[in-house]
Chains A and B, each alone.
Chain A
Amino acid sequence: QVQLQESGPGLVKPSQTLSLTCTVSGGSISSGGYYWSWIRQHPGKGLEWIGYIYYSGSTYYNPSLKSRVTISVDTSKNQFSLKLSSVTAADTAVYYCARDVDYWGQGTLVTVSS
């Protein structure tokens, strides 16, 4: 059974870069055939797909966030990561990592505040 766990700071200052890591267990990122996603949910709101990275390294980013987002993968650690730059209060959300959209992490709340 694949499990995913997000980790990273819960508080980020405005204009700084939000950095999160997703650690995958029960399966290998490099085994192929899946895309590894970041999805967020603003407080009390719906889901927003941030982007994903394919096992091959190709990426897709939501056009509304594309200029600020980088998703990368570290197969040696079986992890993939999210960086979101120049954050504002509007980036305060629960951030989820997922394999395809079938298996999800529990989510981590990131608050942007000084």
Chain B
Amino acid sequence: QTVVTQEPSLTVSPGGTVTLTCASSTGAVTSGYYPNWFQQKPGQAPRALIYSTSNKHSWTPARFSGSLLGGKAALTLSGVQPEDEAEYYCLLYYGGARGVFGGGTKLTVL
């Protein structure tokens, strides 16, 4: 059973910077896992932010960036805005298009 682990919760001040991470139970996350990141606000569908580690969609704000950090996938928010308060999910692919979601990180902007 493959498990993808994220921080359950993080808190950041407005204007600050925060990094969310995504780890795999199989070992270090590499670009070959094609990490994706999603933002979900209450009552809404998830919205794709990042694909293939660091690529942004046309609608992704510039303050969001993706990377690999210390064997994990990472999502960094720089200059956090109040509207960034949300749940964030990562997705890793294990062979072909077999994807496993992380448990999510609840980001509080306070």
Contact = CB atoms under 8 A, between A and B. Distances in A.
A104 B97 contact: no
Contacts of A107: 45
A35 B57 contact: no
Interface residues of B, number: 20
A101 B45 contact: no
Q: What are the nearest 5 A-B pairs in CB distance?
A: A47-B101, A104-B45, A46-B104, A46-B103, A102-B48
B73 interface: no
A104 B101 contact: no
A101 B101 CA distance: 11
B101 A48 contact: yes
A96 B46 contact: yes
Contacts of A102: 48, 51, 57
B33 interface: no
Nearest to A103: B48
Contacts of A46: 89, 101-104
B32 interface: no
Nearest to B6: A46
Interface of A: 35, 46-49, 52, 60, 96, 101-107
A48 to B, nearest CB: 7
Interface string B82-102: 000000010100001111111
Which residue, B45, B89, B99, B100, has most C-beta atoms of chain A within 10 A? Answer: B45
A70 B10 CA distance: 38
26 contacts: A35-B97, A46-B89, A46-B102, A46-B103, A46-B104, A47-B38, A47-B89, A47-B101, A49-B99, A52-B97, A60-B96, A60-B97, A60-B98, A96-B46, A101-B36, A101-B48, A101-B99, A102-B51, A102-B57, A103-B48, A104-B45, A104-B46, A104-B48, A105-B45, A106-B44, A107-B45
B35 to A, nearest CB: 11
